[in-house]
Structure 1
């Protein structure tokens, strides 16, 4: 049975700040940004900042998201989408994540900056670029989800005409659709095709 839950994990009111999200929440942030960049490959800096703010980035942190940083972040998100989020083979996804972690991640460290409590960072420094920070934290989140669930825990909606990316809601049957609406629409269309064929 298809499962649809909170794709972001964590508490709705959690405002943890840059680099300080549980794996499900960091994965949800990636999915939301990846879908936004897919819909608009030239996603404006302000729209990107608004989306990141919804995921806990503070106004103070977002001041560092310049036009150039936003462009680099768009490229990083497109790369994560192409190399990992649309990959259905677990081994290939794991290899792609290892490449990204090798390129952008560093030895894990605890950091306390911007008034946040101590939290884990895997980017190279507190001054890492937005693209490197995002790639490292997203790759770590996806790697954790892959290892915890024993396989690819994300996908691209199988409904005709929908290309939205999603995180699986948890263990159980693999998820094929981004929402109940797409799952229902697809089942109804398949039922009608069978009736016409019968």
Structure 2
């Protein structure tokens, strides 16, 4: 049963990572309040977000930037797996189920309920990406291939590998390629 504040379908740490990473890429100095708003859209409660101090927000921004640089823009599966293993070794602890602040049972891999936001977020994101990589057999995330777009995306299910953050970017790229071929041909 869905709890108040919980996103539809339960926790989605991969989507939370992508949304926060895109927000930090758009504004590297993303405020604590803007960061809290993104986290709230992904089910974090007001009570939980009270612990997100300016110092914790700064550490979380650095963690998100590191996840982006080391993993989210990596296209090589082996290098992505190595980066995820390094992050898991540094931040994660033994997996445990947690139920707090009105949420349903969910998986935590941080060092405890008193772990800092950056360690908690890095561990949860690394496990989510590692799970996706192992289930899909490769990298299913990336940076949009459309010229001028730097948005990150999380790939979907079966089918061709995703290259664009949205159908608008995919369409814009196809139209530009078509027009270029028309000019050259």
**Shorter-chain-normalised TM-score: which range?**
over 0.9
Judged with a 3 Å threshold, the aligned counterparts in structure 2 of structure 1 residues 157 and 14 are, in CA distance, closer, same or farther, namely: farther
Segments ≥4 residues shifted beyond 3 Å: 13-17
Q: Does 1:108 align with 2:95?
A: yes
Give the superposition deviation at 1:14. Answer: 7.5
Q: What is residue 181 of structure 2 aligned with on the other side?
A: 194
Q: What is residue 3 of structure 1 aligned with on the other side?
A: none
Give the superposition deviation at 1:114. Answer: 2.1
Give the superposition deviation at 1:42. Answer: 0.2
Equivalenced residues, count = 182
**Consecutive unaligned residues in structure 1, runs of 5 or more:** 1-10
Q: TM-score normalised to the size of structure 2? A: 0.94
Give the superposition deviation at 1:171. Answer: 1.5
Per-residue CA deviations over 1:157-193 (Å, capped at 9, x if unaligned) read: 0000001000012111011100000000000000000
Q: Does 1:80 align with 2:67?
A: yes
Judged with a 3 Å threshold, the aligned counterparts in structure 2 of structure 1 residues 14 and 99 are, in CA distance, closer, same or farther, namely: farther
SS in 2 for 1:107: coil
Give distance in 1, aligned partners of 2:66 and 2:51: 22
Q: Does 1:162 align with 2:152?
A: no
Give distance in 2, aligned partners of 1:121 and 1:134: 10
What's the Cα RMSD here?
1.6
Q: What is residue 134 of structure 1 aligned with on the other side?
A: 121
Q: TM-score normalised to the size of structure 1? A: 0.88
Give the superposition deviation at 1:110. Answer: 1.8
Give the superposition deviation at 1:100. Answer: 0.3
Give the superposition deviation at 1:111. Answer: 2.0
Give distance in 1, aligned partners of 2:184 and 2:122: 47
Give the superposition deviation at 1:113. Answer: 2.2
Q: Does 1:63 align with 2:63?
A: no
Per-residue CA deviations over 1:66-113 (Å, capped at 9, x if unaligned) read: 000000000000000000000000000000000000000000112222
**Consecutive unaligned residues in structure 2, runs of 5 or more:** none
Give the superposition deviation at 1:118. Answer: 2.8
Higher relative contact order (CA 8 A, sep 6+): 1
Q: What is residue 5 of structure 2 aligned with on the other side?
A: 15
Give distance in 2, aligned partners of 1:51 and 1:113: 20
Q: What is residue 53 of structure 1 aligned with on the other side?
A: 40
